[in-house]
Chain A
Amino acid sequence: MAHFTKATSVKDWLNQRLAIEKVEKVMASEYWIPKNINFLWAMGMVLAITFALLLVSGIFLLMYYQPDVKDAFYSVNYTIMRDVDFGWLWRHVHGVAASVVFLIIYIHMFTGIYYGSYKKGREMIWVSGMLLFVTFSAEAFSGYMLPWGQMSYWAGMVITNIFSLGGLHLDGLVEWIRGDYVPAQAFLTRFFMLHVLLLPLAIMGLIGLHFAALRIPHVNNQDGEEIDFNAESKKYLAGDKAGSKVIRFANDFMSKDLMVVGVFLIFFFYLVFFNYGFALDPVNFDPADGLKTPAHIYPEWYFLWSYEILRPFSVNIGLIAFGFAQVIFVLLPWLDRSPNAVPASRRGAFSIWFWVLLIDMIVLTAMGKLPPEGMFSTIGLVAAILFIALWIALPFITKNEKKV
């Protein structure tokens, strides 16, 4: 047994038992972050805050929500929105945060792609991040079922039908996932379970993995500079704060993070109170009706680009293209053959690739929502083919890149 002495203070008492000083050093004051970063590096903290908002608002919604096909819509739209004091606030925060979290995820992701933050030992950061993207997507989808409105029902119908895998006709698998021939009680209750327990657990585990993956390779910086963290941190501790290339996580980096969070929260709460229609789709305020398809069915905006890759093709090719789009991002660290871990602006052809991909995904997003008719169909098809072509071209583009 370890040796304990009479504690001189509460801190000392805790220190003997939990080594809080050491933990504080490892996690905060001597967790070294490069100084050469911009506000895009704060997106991780913004995501953590948004996740916290989702968790807290979700807890309060959970206290009044009824996962029953007869009562779900009422419990959300009457009980929570009208009866429960500030119930509307939790719902708006939850709905808007669920949408905004994807905006930040996309910014975070494209920041990583632009600065090459998935290379040279940072592959696991990228992979765990993409796994988080997938679980967040599943979390968003399962949560979207819960109000049991028209969009919940029909999105549930369309998305679970994807699992029949086109020409394979795995109707049994679809019925197994739903627990019924159509989305009904069994479907709602199991998606409720996924949304409030299994997926949040997975997300929290993956967030731990994502943070852990950062420790050894350290955070990238905006010039792709290789920093000797040992030497630079010694310099900092010796008092040359201005000359050192690194800063402490707390309070140095955190103060900048929280400044960005402050600006983000203004934007976020503006959306929550005054511009929430994009996140709380009007169609979902009609109760679910299995015998009436809404005039337009579209997923939430953050799924539109992959939905549009599914749509313009015949069913089997569409599914293959869709599957391709789901996994291809994970493989980025290996598809990028270039040795350079520097910003895209210094990488020639890759820089063009980056901007074309970004614009192509925005085009796909727009076409995914617009009705699939006439010109929109054509643009969607071209954009979908371009998306696939870009990824196939990536290894060839990057292979010939000169070392900078």
Chain B
Amino acid sequence: MKNKEPLILVVVVAFTLLTYWLVEPYAHSVMHKHVESQNFAYADLAPFTKTGDAVNGKALVTGAAACTGCHSITKDGIPASVDAVSAAQTYGVNPPDLSNAGAIYDAKFLADLIKNPAHALKVEHKFDASKGQAHPMVAFYGAGGDIEQEVADMVAYIQKIAVKPSEVTPKMAYENACGRCHAVSYEKWTQIGEKPSFKFEKDSLAFDIKVLEYQDSLTKYMGKLPPDLSMYIRSRGEHYISTFMENPQAHLEGTAMPRVGVTADAAHKVIEYLEDAGDTKRHERESVGKMVLIYSVIFAILALLWKKQVWRDLH
């Protein structure tokens, strides 16, 4: 009797893999637009060449450029002028605190943002100056000197006060770059900050009302309420989120979501934050997975040996 089992196994495995390939990798490559990552190089923005002077930068940021009229820099003792809810009523969204912006955002992006916010954020389709639609962040037209040098000074200042890029935590990156529009309820994160645990129901409800008020302004500003990102790491995956962050227009032409201009490192931190929210047990899964696979191999070897022993008399 010829042993046909190897041939049968090849046939079964081949058809299984073919079906898998067709319904998974192939079908998904047809269904979804593929966007290649540009490694957060922001090639469309002018290279950043000038060396800035942080002292002059500080003078500009707090003085002539009037950044601190809207942005807080808590690290340098400059508090927010109004709370998040009122800020959103005025600007649509709460302007970010600039304490660590230098470590989270790309320098080229920051420079462009200061000069032409709608361009850097890639929302010119929504804020077309020629149609009188001004972006809530006012462009900086120079303080009298070389505008390029002034911008470089401001960026230098923002980078100087920030933590080292390696010290940026996932939470810090997410909250600053994404968290003012996107809640992550699984991490208790709301657009106006982490919801504390309140002793009294009344205080808890008061906080919720503030969130709702903020969300109303945000909805008006964005067209719709930006989604909660708790499970996005599972529903969209790392590649999609990362390339979406890099350039939302590449995925969804005409979307109101701005390009946020994070550095590649900060983008990784954001992904890590989302993994902690939506794929919390991934490390445990990987380590337990390895052990279970090792166990399964031992189980299979013993099963094989037992079968050989039992069948010795049968042949």
Contact = CB atoms under 8 A, between A and B. Distances in A.
A258 interface: yes
B311 A269 contact: no
Given A38-B5, A241-B313, A365-B19, A266 B231 contact: no
Interface string A68-90: 00000000011001100000110
A241 B307 contact: no
A337 interface: no
B17 to A, nearest CB: 11
A81 B280 CA distance: 8
A278 interface: yes
B27 interface: yes
B20 interface: yes
B303 A259 contact: yes
B115 to A, nearest CB: 37
Nearest to B292: A269
B27 A370 contact: yes
Interface stretch (A20-28, A120-128, A159-167, A248-256): A248-256
Given A38-B8, A247-B314, A362-B15, A266 B23 contact: no
A242 B313 contact: yes
Nearest to B290: A273
A173 interface: no
**Overall SS of chain B's interface:** helix
Interface string A361-395: 01001100111000000000000000000000000
Nearest to A283: B235
A78 B5 CA distance: 45
Contacts of A19: none
B8 A40 contact: yes
B236 interface: yes
Given A40-B8, A282-B237, A266 B293 contact: yes
Contact of B5 (A39, A242, A362): A39
Contacts, number: 134
B22 interface: yes
B207 to A, nearest CB: 19
B18 interface: yes
B288 interface: yes
Contacts of B285: 88-89, 92, 273
Nearest to A254: B310
B296 interface: yes
Nearest to B231: A285
Interface in A82-104: 82, 88-89, 92, 103
B315 interface: yes
Contacts of B15: 358, 362
A280 B295 CA distance: 24
Given A38-B5, A40-B8, A365-B22, A269 B313 contact: no
Contact of A282 (B30, B236, B293): B236
A274 B281 contact: no
Interface string B191-233: 0000000000000000000000000000000000000001110
Given A88-B281, A252-B311, A301 B19 contact: yes
Q: Bin chain B's interface residue count.
A: 35 or more
A247 B307 CA distance: 13
Nearest to B12: A107
A277 interface: yes
B299 to A, nearest CB: 5
B146 interface: no
A270 B311 CA distance: 29
Given A258-B306, A262-B304, A273-B285, A304 B23 contact: yes
Contact of A78 (B27, B186, B306): B186
Given A39-B5, A362-B22, A366-B26, 20 more contacts: A40-B12, A88-B285, A242-B313, A252-B310, A252-B311, A255-B306, A255-B307, A255-B310, A255-B311, A259-B306, A259-B307, A262-B299, A262-B300, A269-B289, A273-B288, A277-B24, A278-B24, A282-B235, A285-B235, A358-B15
Interface of A: 35-36, 38-40, 77-78, 81-82, 88-89, 92, 103, 107, 222, 241-242, 247, 251-252, 255-256, 258-259, 261-263, 265-266, 269-270, 272-274, 277-278, 280, 282-287, 295-296, 301, 304, 358, 362, 365-366, 369-371
Interface of B: 1, 4-5, 8-9, 12, 15-16, 18-20, 22-24, 26-27, 30-31, 186, 230-232, 234-237, 278, 280-281, 284-286, 288-290, 292-293, 296-297, 299-304, 306-307, 309-311, 313-315
10 contacts: A40-B12, A77-B186, A81-B280, A103-B16, A255-B311, A265-B296, A266-B296, A269-B293, A304-B23, A369-B27
